[in-house]
Amino acid sequence: MRRSLIAAAPALALGAGLSNRAYAQTEADELPDAATGWNAFAPVPPPPLVFQNVHGRRLTLADFKGHVLLVNLWATWCGPCKEELPTFAALAPKLKHFGGLVLPISIDVDGVSAVRGYFRQQDIRTLPILVDPDGNDLDMMQTNGIPVTLVINAAGMAVARLDGAANWNTKAVIEFLRHQARKIEPNPDGFTNV
C-alpha cells in the first residue's frame, strides 16, 4: 500500500491544480495572469508525455532537459486555447536568454497540417509546431479539458500547473520561470543547492 501511495504522489500533485475558476474563464475580454491562477507545488516527476515535431520526430520532455519548459496542451478548435496562445507567442522570445522554452502540444486530430494552417493564419512565428494527434497526453496529464499548462524546471521536474486559459506574458510569470531556470543539484551532504 505504501509503495502505491508513493507512486501516486506525483499524479496527485499534478491533478491538484484543477480549477473551476480557470474553466469558467472562456469568453472574458482579458485573461487572468497565469501567476495568480496556477497551482505551484514541490517538484515532482512530470508525466511521460510523447509528442511529435513538424517533421514527425517522436519527442519526450527528456529531450528538453536543462531547459525551463511551459508545456501547453491545446487545439485549434478550442476557444480559450486560441485566446491564450498569443500570450505564449509573445512570451517565448523573452525566455530564450535563460533557456526557457514554450512547448505548445496540439491535440488536433489533423496534426501538423491543422497547426501549420492556424499558425500561418494567426502569424505565429515564435512557437514550435508540436502535435499529439492521438490525444494520449491528455490522459497522461490526467485531464479531460484544455488548455492545460505544466511548468517544468531546469532539473526536469514539474513545479506548477494551470488548467484553463491565462495570460502567460507577464512579469510575474517571467520571474518565476527565471527562478526555475536555476538547476537544483544535490550536494554531497544530501541537501540541494540552488
pLDDT per residue as tens digits for the range 42-90: 999 999 999 999 999 999 999 999 999 999 999 999 999 999 999 999 9
Positive or negative CA dihedral for 181, 187, 190, 191?
A: negative
Cβ 130 vs Cβ 107: under 8 Å: no
Among 8-17, 41-50, 160-169, where is mean pLDDT lowest?
8-17
pLDDT at 15: 46
Evaluate whether 167 touches 31 at the Cβ level (below 8 Å).
Answer: yes
Q: Between these two residues, 149 and 20, which has the higher pLDDT value? A: 149
* CATH 3.40.50.1000 is held by the domain 47-149: no
Q: What is the pLDDT of residue 153?
A: 97
Q: 79-95 vs 171-180: helix axis angle to the nearest 10?
A: 60
Domain positions in the chain are: 47-149
Using DSSP, state whether 148 is helix, strand or coil. strand
Q: List the grid coordinates of 46.
A: 512530470
Q: What is the pLDDT of residues 95-129, one digit of tens each?
A: 999 999 999 999 999 999 999 999 999 999 999 99
